[in-house]
Amino acid sequence: MTGQTAALPARLDVSGTSAIPFSRLVRLEGRKLADTRAGRWLLISIAALTALVLVIQLAVVVAQDLVVRFSDFLVAMNTPMGVLLPVLGVMSITSEWSQRTAMVTFALEPSRQRVVAAKLVSVLLVAVVAVVIGLLLGVLANLLYGGLSGNDVVWSIGVRQLFGFLLLHVFGMSTGFAFGMLFLNTPAGIVVFFVYSFVLPGLFQLGAALMHWFGQLQPWIDFNAAQAPLIVDQGMAGKEWAQLVVSGLLWLVLPLVVGVWRVLRTEVK
C-alpha cells in the first residue's frame, strides 16, 4: 500500500431516471431541420422565393401605377411559403426513415411520443418564424412601394387578419407533418400533399358544379377552401368556422392520429 487512496472510476448513470428535457428535444429537432443539406436549401429557397415574389410584385405595381395595400403584399408572400413550408413539415419526420437515423433518435429518447411532440413543436415554431420574416419582407416591400410610386402607404390590416395568416401556415405545416407521418416516405408524402393542395380543390369545384348535392357537401370536406376566409377582410362567421373544424378533422386530425399510431407501431430498422 502506498498510503494513497485510489481514485474510483466514474460510473455512467444508466438508470434512466433523468429524462431529456422537452425543451432540449425541441431544440435538437429544430436543429435537424437545418443540419441536412435538403433541409438547409429548402429553408434558403423559401426565403429567396418569398423575396423574389415580392420584388416581382413591387416592380409590376410600380411600372403599371397600381394601387396596392400591405395586405396585398402579404397575400403574395403567402404563395411560396404556403407551398414550400409544408414540404419541410413532411421531411421533418420522413428524414428519420430515409436517412436511417430513427434508430439512433429513439435509442437516445425511447419515448416516441415525446420525439413526435418535439418534432411537431419545432416545425410549428419554424412556421411562426417564417410568418414573422414574411411580415418583415412585406413591410419592406410596402415602404419601397410608397417611396417608388409616390402613393400613400396603406397599412389596412388588423390583428385578426394577421392571426389568420399565422393560422394558415400553422395548418399547412401541420398537414405536411401529418402526411409525412402517415407515409414515412419523403416522395410519397410530398406527392400526396401536392395532390391534396392542387388537384383535389379543382376536383371538388368540378364536382360541386356538376352535382348539386356535392356542392352542398364540398364546403364541409374541402379544407383548403375552408381556410381561405381566414385572410379576407370580412372575416369568418360561425358556419365558416364550423366548416373549418369539420374539414380539418378530415384532412389534418385524422391523418395526424393515424400517423402517430403508425410511428409508435412501426419497427425501426
What are the domain boundaries of the chain?
Answer: 22-265
pLDDT at 3 (0 to 100): 47
Give the pLDDT score at 11: 54
Residue 1 has pLDDT above 50, yes or no: no
On the question of pLDDT at 258 being above 90, the answer is yes
Place 96 in a pLDDT band, splitting at 50, 70 and 90.
confident
Q: What is the DSSP letter of 109?
A: S
Average pLDDT, the chain: 86
Burial class (CB in 10 A: 0-12, 13-18, 19+), 115: buried
pLDDT of 121 reads 95
Q: pLDDT band for position 233 (50/70/90)? A: low
**Cβ proximity of 189 and 206 under 8 Å:** no
CA 70, chain centre distance (Å): 23
> Mind listing the pLDDT tens digit for each residue in 149-190?
878 888 877 788 888 889 999 999 999 999 999 999 999 999
Contact 151, 232 (CB under 8 A): no
For position 18, what pLDDT does the model report?
A: 59
pLDDT at 179: 96
Residue 148 pLDDT level (bands cut at 50, 70, 90): confident
**Closest among 146, 93, 153, 81 to 119, alpha carbons compared:** 93
Q: What is the pLDDT of residue 9?
A: 53
pTM of the model: 0.87
| Segment 87-100 mean pLDDT | 88
Reported residue count of the chain is 269
Taking 90 as the threshold, does the pLDDT of residue 204 lie above it?
Answer: yes
Share above pLDDT 90 across residues of the chain, in percent, rounded to a whole number: 43
pLDDT band at 7 (very low <50, low <70, confident <90, very high): low
Rounded to whole angstroms, the Cα distance separating 230 from 220 reads 15
pLDDT digits (tens, 9 = 90+) for 13-69: 445 445 789 999 999 998 888 877 888 888 888 888 988 988 898 888 888 888 888
Cβ contact 33:88 at 8 Å: yes
Minimum mean pLDDT among 4-13, 44-53, 236-245: which range? 4-13
